[in-house]
Structure 1
Amino acid sequence: MEEAVAAGQVETYGIATWSGFTDRIFTVPQLDRLAAEAAGGRQHHLQAAQLPVSLVQAEPLEQVLQGCGPIAAAAERGWEVLASSPLHGGELVQAATAALAALLRPGLSPAQACLLAAASCPGGTTRVLLSASTPARWEAARAALEQPAIPL
């Protein structure tokens, strides 16, 4: 990717993984070091990490609350952190209850509350990646993400 940057094909790049961090295959500091090596010791252009963040995939949330893990490490480096699968492939829409939604943010649907929980990840999550099957669901997601973060 550093060659693509040098050729003017891209400006920055990132890593996207489902389990690379949780399975301890690599860490943000390791990726940072490898990118620097690929850049020949110069400033590298690895600027983003994408990983699942949800109430099901809670390890990144738990780690950042303790000041560690991939989200905290990426944020320390100024990387963009993209939370993917905030509704865990739709699983949370079926599993979450109205009581959970009311606990997280009264007035939101269970899906909206779970989405806001992922978006409220402190310490560096900069974007939430999601898809919606209808314009109404997209609007509901947008409305949830306009809410203030849930204090975690």
Structure 2
Amino acid sequence: MTARLGLGTYRCLDVAEAALMAACRGADWVDTAPNYAGGHAETSLTVILAAYPDLCVSTKVGFVPAGTRHIGVRAGALSAADAERGHCLAPDYIAWQLARSRLMLGRVPDLVFVHNPEHACPDGEITGWLYNAFVALEEACSQQIISAYGMATWSGFSSDLFDVPTLIELATMAGGPNHHLRAIQLPVSLVHLAPVAQALNGRGPLADALAAGLEVFASAPLHGGEIPGLVTPELSELIAPGQTPAETALSVVASAPGVKRVLLSTGNPEHWTEATEAVGRPSLSPDVLRRVVDVLGT
């Protein structure tokens, strides 16, 4: 498969332990956010990132960690209303959070995602909010505070709030033809099959990202650990005979057109090894993926 396994830290009970486990087993990417692990995820990664300088890291901006709300307000980067809301994409806050993330991580992040803008942008105003956010991110790239940026969303694509061509257009407006928009992140799994079905027909966020040269990070590939319990022997036989339910589910995600990274949240070495093997196998054919979509729907 062309996809690679990366560590997602959203559900990790011990971020540092999970990152060390993954790095020791060849992981080259860890994804985090300032609000993960009770606001301590970034600082938990500092030592690991220093020990493994080739380990890439992505973080996010948007959600306001509860523990830093008063700090952001006192610094003048965050309004009291946004602090109470718990999400902010105002340029001043983005600049403040990016500088803080760089400090917490101990290095320049390789990628910074705009985190679930659907949570805070008023209806009908998403384009303006995202443009202003991209301007702030382009400025951070020019100052070498970050290397590149992307969009991480749970429902932005599926709700038609925005699409990849719109993001490319906004990034070009903000940064010109050499803008720094590099990736998207969205849920892809056996319960989020719509992006796969769309990509098989040459449309949707996966196909659009592939055409635009953006990397696709697939989040929640096991839907919080629920999917292995839903994979029947018959479904496993249809998709990947002889594989475990988790391997079966991960094979579908890793084989989806355009997916470059599958983010798995785990601190369990056995689960990581199993997932690495599943993602490392040859991709499932489009015909198999179509049969999965036909059986499960979208």
| Of 117, 138, 143, the match for 1:7 | 143
Counterpart residue type for residue 103 of structure 1: L
Counterpart Cα distance in 2 of 1:42 and 1:96 = 44
Corresponding letter in the other structure for 1:144: A
How far residue 20 of structure 1 moved from its aligned partner, in angstroms, is 0.3
Deviations 1:97-139 (CA, angstroms, capped at 9, x unpaired): 12211211111101110011111002x1111111224111111
Match of 1:141 in 2: 275
- The answer to whether the 8 Å contact 1:98/1:109 transfers is no
Cα distance, 1:94 vs structure 2: 1.4
Specify the alignment match of 1:36 in structure 2: 172
Query: What secondary structure is seen at the aligned counterpart in 1 of 2:162?
Result: coil
User: In structure 1, what is the Cα distance between the partners aligned to 2:178 and 2:229?
Assistant: 45
Structure 2: stretches of 5+ with no match in the other structure: 1-136, 287-298
Pairing 1:1-152 to 2, within 5 Å after superposition:
1-39=137-175, 41-122=176-257, 124-152=258-286
TM-score between the two structures when normalised by the length of structure 2: 0.49
Partner-residue secondary structure (3-state), 2:226: helix
SS of residue matched to 2:178: coil
TM superposition outliers: structure 1 runs of 4+ over 6 Å: none
**Count of residue pairs brought into register by the alignment:** 150
The residue matched to 1:89 in structure 2 has which SS?
coil
Partners of 1:28 and 1:112 in 2: CA distance: 29
Deviation of 1:48 after TM superposition, in Å, equals 0.2
Bigger radius of gyration: 2
Q: Aligned equivalents of 2:160 and 2:226: distance in 1? A: 25
Deviation at 1:144, TM superposition (A): 0.9
- Structure 1-normalised TM-score? 0.94
Distance 1:98 1:7 in 2: 53
Percent identity between the aligned chains? Answer: 47
Q: Which runs of 5+ in 1 are unaligned?
A: none
